[in-house]
Amino acid sequence: MELVVTIIYYCLVGFVSVLLIYNLIKTTEWQKEVLYIIVLIPFLLRLFMLK
């Protein structure tokens, strides 16, 4: 059960990371670019299992 939750969790983290990167590429406002980068960092750290 724990393994299933873990897999789902990391899939979600990966999905949100991809969304953030997609939005970063698409946006034209520099403020949002900075925002996406800052928000992306903890997601990537979690994806790499660094805490």
Partner 1 sequence: MKASIRKLGFSIAGLVLLVVSGLSFYESRHLKEPVVLSDGVTQVMKLSKYFPDIEGTANDCNIYVLEGKEPGATLCILGGTHPEEPAGRLAAWLFAENGVMMKGRLIVVLSANRSATTVTRVGGAYPPDFIIPSPWGGQTFRLGDRWSNPLDQWPDPEVYIHYPSGQYLAYLDSRNLNRCWPGRPNGTLTEKTAYAFLEMIKKEKVDVVIDLHEAELQYPVISTIVTHEKGQELAAVVSMTLTDLEGFKMGLEFSPKNLHGLSHREIGDYSDAISLLFEAPEPFLDATRGKTTTDQLLTGKDEFVVKAGKHGLLFEKIDEKGWPIDVRVGRHTSAILQTMASWTEVHPERPLLCDNVPRYAEVIEKGIGKFLQDPAHGKPGRVLFE
* Residues within the interface to partner 1 (CB under 8 A): 2, 5-6, 9, 24-25, 28, 30, 33-34, 37-38, 40-41, 44-45, 48-51
Cβ burial, residue 16 (10 Å; 0-12/13-18/19+): middle
d(CA 50, CA 2): 19
Dig out the tokens for 46 from the structure. Answer: 């979690």
Is 18 or 45 the residue whose CB approaches partner 1 more closely? 45
Task: Give min distance, CB of 45 to partner 1, in A.
Answer: 6
CB of 11 to partner 1, least distance (A): 14
